A and B are shown apart, each in its own frame.
Chain A
Amino acid sequence: MSSETQQDKQVESAVEAGRQRRGGLHHLDVSATVGRPVVKLVLGVTLTFLMLPVFVTLIASFGTTWTGTLPRGFVNLENWRTVLGLAEGPGVRDGVITGLGYSAGLATAGMLVNIVVGVPIAYSLVRYDFFAKDILNTLAILPIVPGVVLAVAFLRMYPEQGGSTLGLIVGYALLKSPFMILTVQSSLQSMNLQRVEESARSLGASWTRTFLTVIVPNAKSGIVAGCIITWTLAAAEFNFTYMVHSAGPRPFSLFLYQNISRAPVLQGAAAVSVYFLIVTAVILILQTTGKAGFTTVERK
């Protein structure tokens, strides 16, 4: 009720402000005619700014040179052959396959850790009230330590294992856990958890069994979406990886960095395009789980 009266007041003040302006200033308020076109223009310019470089990169990766306004010499597969490790390229040691395979493994392990860590805490934060719940909620859903700082801390705490496979998995799981927790929370919030839980319990299921066979299957779409998002973000994690990695197989993001910073621009374009294709596939899969895009928010 109170929010309704509040809104009535807001409407009144808008109308009142309109009346007062009916004098000289009224003619300056042209929002009725230009408001919508201007907002649409902002949307158009922003979309172009965000998507133009992506498409240009993808197209340029098939070019031979880029000395004029547009890349030329289509269709040339040499950049892709170099990136895929089928040909020798300048500035870069080997192809994408090993690095991507290694990062995919790290990301999968991090994702599994996140299922074990994220699903239960997301459930208890949505379902129960308890001491210091708000603080725990904030800690759990906001990435508290930036990747770079976490990397320095890891170098000190685990000098031997910090940059190892285990260190990278723990780092990825921690850095990306908020995305899992939020996505699962978002899908749990649409269920009447207390009723579901009480029906199952009253029919004789133990609490553990209720959680595993009733709650978790119902939250499946959120868990799947959380897995996809945390996996993708971990597979290309750079800030933490770059600082802690010292030996062993080279993760995918370091392969990208080498191509971006040391290779000719068209070869870099091909390397980056590999990741664009992955993200595009991921967004298409996410749309089947009810997410419009790469976001933790549930589709309305």
Chain B
Amino acid sequence: MARDTAGGTGTESTRTGVGARLAAVRALLSPRTEAERERRRVAVMSLPYFVLAIFGAFLPLGMLARMSLSENQFRNEGFSLDAWETLATEPVYREIAWNTLWFATVTTTFSVLVAVALSHALAKYDLPFRRWIVAMVSFPIALPGIVVGFMIVVLLGRTGLLTNAVAFFTGGSRIDLATALTVGGLFLGYAFSLIPRATMVLRGTFEEINTDAEEAARALGASPLLTFYHVTLPQVWPGVVAAFVLTFRTALAIFGTVLVLPALNVATLRINLEIQDLGFNLAVASAMGLVYFVFIFGFTFAGVRLIDNESLKI
């Protein structure tokens, strides 16, 4: 591959500063030992990913940082902290941050709890049509957020199935009974997206646990609840943490659902508002996007320290 372009100019012995760096480059371009060849293979095979990541993510994110400091909304000019000042001082942004965090935490916790029950049933019980149940639980992962929003409208909107059923039995007004556009409706919309993702992460963990210990505990007289708490839960705990970290990230990034069901002012909705409706407010949107990115990035790397790489699944 890159062998011909090497030139092999690296000096052998000077292991200081520039010399060491040159030697490393030399080893990468024209490797002599098997270890050096292996290092070159890793570099070559990671190269396409880095090209995509640099042009697709790192450079645009750098531009995002620059834009948040621009004096002009349309060009990168001068230096101004106005956007950051707006973000720090206007109370609406504090409210958005709070809304985003508490709503993501509550929906994630709920979804992971349901997912634990689902994966427990899928792994332990003798269920008919098990593969089809897995297929059905995984179905919503393929749906974009706007379609999820539509699903909640179909259930709970003014013409929704459940709204009409309740109106029929209680004689109430359909318009009063519709809950799709309330925070409760949005909660179900988030759960619709998050439960399948959390379940798919946990399913793998539940299938790897050792059933002998559970059977022993049951045979020795512990109840199913105590067995779950003392034997099963410690074994699946890494998976539960992984599911929480990954689901929380997904919850933070939800946009389509909240665009269709705008019951709560969360960060993604506000970024859209800054750009589409409040004028082309790119500096503030950039600053928000940057805070958002840094938070998710930091959360991910802090979260990943708690779990092993094996549990990372989506």
Q: How many B residues have CB within 8 A of the partner chain?
A: 116
Q: Which residues of A contact B96 (CB under 8 A)?
A: none
Q: Which residues of A contact B165 (CB under 8 A)?
A: 69
A1 at the interface (CB under 8 A from B): no
B166 nearest in chain A by CB position: A69
Q: Which residues of A contact B253 (CB under 8 A)?
A: 143, 146-148, 239
Whether A142 pairs with B249 at a CB distance below 8 angstroms is yes
Q: Is the interface of A mostly helix, strand, loop or mixed?
A: helix
Q: Which residues of A contact B275 (CB under 8 A)?
A: 152, 155, 243
> Which stretch of A43-51, A78-86, A87-95 is in the interface?
A43-51
B135 to chain A, nearest CB (A): 4
B285 at the interface (CB under 8 A from A): yes
Q: Is the interface of B mostly helix, strand, loop or mixed?
A: helix
Number of interchain pairs (Cβ within 8 Å) = 333
Cβ contact of A150, chosen from B57, B141, B164, cutoff 8 A: B57
Q: Which residues of A contact B49 (CB under 8 A)?
A: 117-118, 120-121, 140, 177
Whether B142 pairs with A233 at a CB distance below 8 angstroms is yes
Q: Which residues of A contact B44 (CB under 8 A)?
A: 120
B103 at the interface (CB under 8 A from A): no
Question: 8 Å CB contacts to B: which residues of A154-173?
Answer: 154-158, 170-171, 173
Whether A121 pairs with B216 at a CB distance below 8 angstroms is no
Interface size class of A (residues with CB under 8 A): 35 or more
Whether A120 pairs with B223 at a CB distance below 8 angstroms is no
| Interface residues in chain B, defined as those with a beta carbon under 8 Å from any beta carbon in chain A | 1, 37-39, 41-42, 44-46, 48-49, 52-53, 55-57, 59-61, 63-64, 67, 114, 117-118, 120-122, 125, 127, 131, 133-147, 149-155, 157, 159, 161, 164-165, 167-168, 188, 191-192, 195-196, 200, 203-204, 207, 210, 212-213, 216-217, 220-231, 234-235, 246, 249, 252-253, 255-256, 259-260, 268, 271-272, 275, 282, 285-286, 289-290, 292-293, 296-297, 300-301, 304, 309, 312-314
List 12 additional contacts besides A60-B154, A140-B49; criterion CB under 8 Å: A11-B230, A57-B154, A134-B304, A143-B253, A152-B64, A171-B56, A237-B144, A256-B147, A265-B154, A265-B157, A295-B203, A300-B207
A–B pairs, 13, beta carbons within 8 Å: A50-B196, A57-B154, A120-B46, A121-B48, A137-B312, A142-B300, A148-B289, A149-B271, A177-B49, A236-B144, A256-B144, A257-B256, A295-B200
